[in-house]
């Protein structure tokens, strides 16, 4: 059972939309992630989607989160007194990921380029994209929510699996995608549901 109500889109709808997103400089030739942040923003639930493309070719779609989970939203002072890292949506981030390890424990796409962030420090259980924009590499990687290669979806609860990272909860689809990427850089376009 899916815990996300993010709309489903056709390839054409998505590709027509992303050319109007801030920073667009052509579709990446290699693999890239189109992350869609849900309007629901259900607290601590994997309620977003990741569409995987290679150039203009649709490859797959998987569920996940673009938002910090409960742990990050409550305990952010361990990392930054200003708030939890929230990747700014409606932006292109070219060549921002490359295969590596997340926390030394799992194969992931590690952040290698800068992204834009807000800091959410009000602890209201909602992701806020307001205030100062910071641009840096905070190692908000793209990874899954299990250190084993379990198949399918293990949980719909984010918990401590994201304190700013993009996280897929569909482990099988995640590793299938990573097996195709090699060590080429991967771009990200993060948008809000439209």
Structure tokens at 169: 């909860």
Q: Where are the alpha helices (DSSP H) in 25-163?
A: 70-74
Structure tokens at 152: 């399918």
Inside any domain, residue 117: yes
Inside any domain, residue 137: yes
Inside any domain, residue 78: yes
Inside any domain, residue 107: yes
Inside any domain, residue 6: no
pLDDT (tens digit, 0 to 9) for every residue of the chain, 194 residues total? 456 788 999 999 999 999 999 999 999 999 999 999 999 888 999 999 999 999 999 999 999 999 998 888 877 777 778 888 999 999 999 999 999 999 888 999 999 999 999 999 888 888 899 999 999 999 999 999 988 777 778 788 898 889 899 999 999 999 999 999 999 999 999 999 99
Contacts of 156 (CB under 8 A, 6+ apart): 3, 45, 46, 169
Inside any domain, residue 96: yes
- Domain count within the chain: 1
Inside any domain, residue 4: no
Distance CA 21, CA 154 (A): 33
Inside any domain, residue 187: yes
Structural domain span for residue 39: 11-192
pTM: 0.93
Q: Map tokens 């924009």 to a residue.
A: 133
Structure tokens at 192: 């809000």
């Amino acid at each position: 059972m899916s815990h996300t109500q993010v709309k489903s889109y056709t390839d054409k709808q998505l590709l027509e939309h992303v050319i109007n997103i801030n920073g667009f400089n052509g579709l990446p030739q290699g693999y890239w992630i189109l992350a869609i942040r849900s309007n629901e923003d259900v607290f601590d639930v994997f309620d977003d989607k990741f569409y995987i493309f290679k150039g203009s070719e649709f490859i797959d779609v998987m569920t996940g989160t673009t938002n910090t989970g409960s742990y990050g939203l409550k305990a952010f002072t361990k990392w930054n007194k200003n708030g939890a890292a929230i990747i700014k949506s409606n932006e292109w981030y070219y060549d921002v990921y490359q295969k590596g390890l997340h926390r030394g424990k799992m194969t992931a796409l590690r952040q290698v380029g800068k992204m834009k962030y807000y800091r959410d420090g009000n602890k209201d259980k909602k992701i806020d994209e307001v205030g100062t924009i910071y641009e840096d590499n905070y190692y908000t990687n793209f990874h899954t929510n299990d250190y084993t290669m379990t198949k399918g979806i293990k949980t719909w609860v984010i918990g401590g699996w994201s304190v700013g990272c993009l996280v897929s909860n569909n482990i099988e689809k995640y590793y299938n995608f990573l097996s195709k990427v090699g060590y080429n850089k991967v771009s990200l376009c993060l948008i809000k549901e439209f």
